[in-house]
Structure 1
Amino acid sequence: MAADTKGQRVRSLPLSNEEVESRFRSVTLAQFLAELPDELTILHDANLQARLRWVEPSELADPTPYLMDGEFVLTAGLPLLGEGGTADAIDAYVERLAGAKVCALGFGLTPYHHEVPPALAASCRRHGLTLVEVPPTVPFAAIGLQFAQLLESDSAKVFRQLAETNRMLMRSVLSPRPDQEVLGTLVQRVPCWAVLVGADGKVRARAGSNPADVVTLGPLLQRLFSGSGPRVELDSYPSPGSESVVGHPLRSTRDVNLGALVIGSAERLSPAHNNIVSSAVGLLELLSRQRTSGSLAPSQLATALLLHPETLATGTAREVSAAKDLLAQSLGSTRSAPMRVVQGVNVDAPQWRSSDSPVRELLQWRRIFDTKLVEITEYGFAAVTRLKVDDAAVAEAQRLGWRLVIGDPVELNSLPAAYQRVGALRARARATAETLRVDSVTWSVTGLLGREAGAMLAGQVLAPLLEPERQDALLDVLRGWLAQNGNWDATAKALGLHRNSVRRQIGVVAELLDRDLNDAQTRADLWIALQYSPPAP
């Protein structure tokens, strides 16, 4: 919009990136005027990008004692009647408004004036005050209501943007490089640069344009690391985009300095942006705690068993007791509760399987099984838990596309054997797409082999007998003969055949299979294979 253009109409304009960013922080006069009816006319444009704080109707000759800076004052011109209508009085009136940092003056036509006094327009140009003509068709109350609605919608937009930013920050934490991703998200949503420094003073990650180097940050970091409790340190550097620099400490639960996040910007950040920075500080602090002071028990347990794998088998009573204490802390339970090994296999496309980082999966299984002892494997995952793994946990895993094999309750020394028993049922769980419990399974070769592997075995071992013209007779005779442990008379009686007929057909089977049917291993292989090759209908 051109300045000092009589008759210029208020209209909506496409918002630039700068305007969108400013709207994220507060409402400008231009944004407000764009929402008003077209009947309003800008008589003088002093600064349409000025921040607008409120709309205030006033017919006082001097309303400034009751005004905040950045207000849009509305008047019907009552103070400009009589002696107040002289050029000097009008100029003094406008000068007072400009001195009070009024954002704009809206002059309403009727009932006192039918046009904007020329002296008022000249004075507004002289003192740099935006002047807007308000026709009789637009009540002052409607202008105030429109501003209230704009503030409300702008606040809702800010809350939506904050919620989306927080979701982005949470996704960043689950990435392979969480520190760098959190900083990248931060500078994407906040006009700043960011530097993450470890407790050793070395830069762990940086993002944004022209971030300060660690040498420049030295004095600020020294002040930050020498303090205690919740705090920030402020500074300013001559380079562009570093006029306002704020350092945030990353602290442990015992108030130990774990590092620092330093933010630099061209100007002080808005409250909404500071809210985003606070969220980032909290997440980076959590990551730092996890790397150092968080979840100590699993790391201690892993270190002890890696360096002394014989502890559980041949360790002293004190060493075994210490391992049990660490295990209990890792499982979030008492030492007396038995443990279960749980393995999971994927049968459907998991809803949240990550291709680049196991963090999300680990956190999910930790939550479901209430344990820190989770391993991501090539077949899925394995976990050690104190839970009985009830139907609710099973249903949640199955909803996510997984089937479980749930081990029987064991003590510490029996965990390896329990893991083997669970692993033996894994193929069957995948083949049947069913969740299995070790203590509810009938243990047999066929039960452990599973449908898929059994069908493959039958196809290989019995292939010569599966041709249609041979299947009915030969398979039935072989099945009956093996069931009677190779007894000719018992087989003939069971099948209703002559003894010699049984001998002849078994001979044909041995010839087709090219195997010695008197061999115990051969008989065992054939019997198992027959379990997966039922009689033809």
Structure 2
Amino acid sequence: AVGTGAPLGTAERYAVHSAVALLTLTTERSRSLHDAESRLGAAVLRMLLDGEAEHAKAVAGDLYGALLEAPFRLIVAEPALAGTEQPQGLALLADAVESAAARAGEALLVVPEEGRLVVLAADGGAAVQASLDHAEALEARRGREATGPEPDELVVGLSAAVAPSGVAAAFKQADQALAVARRRGRPMVEHEDLAAGSVLPLLADEAVRAFADGTLRALREHDEKGRGDLVASLRAWLSRHGQWDAAAADLGVHRHTLRYRMRRVEEILGRSLDDPDVRMELWLALKATSPAA
């Protein structure tokens, strides 16, 4: 009777009201079920982060249980622009991974958490691939438009594959990858790429450069007054792993001259070059302030 030009009778009006009531009830139940699943997912994630993998499996039951029986990866996403509240970007990513998982029959855990999105997805599965495709599309759009991040864009960090007992480590990995993605202006960074690459690109961070400049300032001021080449000598000595003859040959000086310069470095800095931590910090400072850094 609905949609016809004829007036509705009593029976038809009753049927329409009943249908509306049933649709409203179904919608409310669906919303309540979704909220309950979200709370359960958050509880399972918290247990995993606290190292209670067996309890998490018991609570997850059939809903997430299959996900916790095989290696999975952890995805952390947040708005690319600081201060963005309830961004559309998080909803779009959640929809992308949930749709991909549903089509592939994969279990998936999606937890909104304080303006971020945390996802546990099967390693090598459709949901992980969907997150990679989503980030690739964002990067391609930014490249075409030659602009910075839009309000709906994200930064995403992706952990290595872990077992349930390794979720805390995976969360840290994803968080670190996300921080690097933000610094580099990338939509997504995988932690495995960081571990496989060189640490040198990370030295371009302004905080690292500030630390490096402060560490070497006293030596540079000494050299600028024409009282020796301490910075160059330190670089040569460290690059030769403390081998006096080889480092002295690189500099074209006698090894006793180099020994004297390294003693002056220790005196000026007030630190011992016998300490491996000191040598490491000085080498990183030299690399961070080199023209190629």
TM-score by length of 1: 0.39
Aligned equivalents of 2:29, 2:220: Cα separation in 1: 64
Aligned sequence identity (%):
22
Query: Residue in 2 aligned with 1:383?
Result: 119
2:79–2:89 CA contact under 8 A, matched in 1 = no
Cα 1:425–1:292 shift into 2, 3 Å: closer
1:297 paired to 2:37: yes
Query: Residue in 1 aligned with 2:74?
Result: 341
> SS of the counterpart of 1:302?
helix
Cα 1:368–1:531 shift into 2, 3 Å: farther
Alignment length (residue pairs): 250
Query: Residue in 2 aligned with 1:425?
Result: 177
Query: Residue in 1 aligned with 2:52?
Result: 312
The one-character-per-residue Cα deviations of 1:14-61 (angstroms, maximum 9, x if unpaired) are xxxxxxxxxxxxxxxxxxxxxxxxxxxxxxxxxxxxxxxxxxxxxxxx
1:362–1:374 CA contact under 8 A, matched in 2 = no
1:343–1:405 CA contact under 8 A, matched in 2 = yes
Cα 1:473–1:374 shift into 2, 3 Å: farther
2:252 maps to a residue whose letter is: G
> SS of the counterpart of 2:52?
helix
TM-score by length of 2: 0.66
Q: Comparing both structures, which one devotes a greater share of its residues to helix?
A: 2
Cα 1:456–1:320 shift into 2, 3 Å: same
Query: Residue in 1 aligned with 2:213?
Result: 459
1:415 paired to 2:146: no
Deviation at 1:376, TM superposition (A): 4.3
Name the Cα RMSD after superposition. Answer: 4.0
Aligned equivalents of 1:324, 1:374: Cα separation in 2: 17
Cα 1:290–1:407 shift into 2, 3 Å: same
Q: Which has the larger radius of gyration?
A: 1
Aligned equivalents of 1:339, 1:308: Cα separation in 2: 12
> SS of the counterpart of 1:408?
coil
Aligned equivalents of 1:480, 1:230: Cα separation in 2: 89
> SS of the counterpart of 1:373?
strand
Aligned equivalents of 2:220, 2:236: Cα separation in 1: 16
1:516–1:522 CA contact under 8 A, matched in 2 = yes
2:49–2:167 CA contact under 8 A, matched in 1 = no
1:326 paired to 2:80: no
Cα 1:377–1:440 shift into 2, 3 Å: same
Unaligned ranges ≥5, structure 2 = 1-13, 99-107, 143-149
The one-character-per-residue Cα deviations of 1:238-281 (angstroms, maximum 9, x if unpaired) are xxxxxxxxx952646xxxx47xxxxxxxxxxxxxxxxxxxxxxx
1:325 maps to a residue whose letter is: D
1:469 paired to 2:224: yes
Deviation at 1:367, TM superposition (A): 1.6
Query: Residue in 2 aligned with 1:392?
Result: 133
Q: Comparing both structures, which one devotes a greater share of its residues to strand?
A: 1
Q: Equivalences for 1:157-168 in 2 at 5 Å?
A: none
Unaligned ranges ≥5, structure 1 = 1-228, 234-246, 259-284
Cα 1:362–1:534 shift into 2, 3 Å: closer
Aligned equivalents of 2:277, 2:112: Cα separation in 1: 38
1:392 maps to a residue whose letter is: D
Query: Residue in 2 aligned with 1:521?
Result: 277
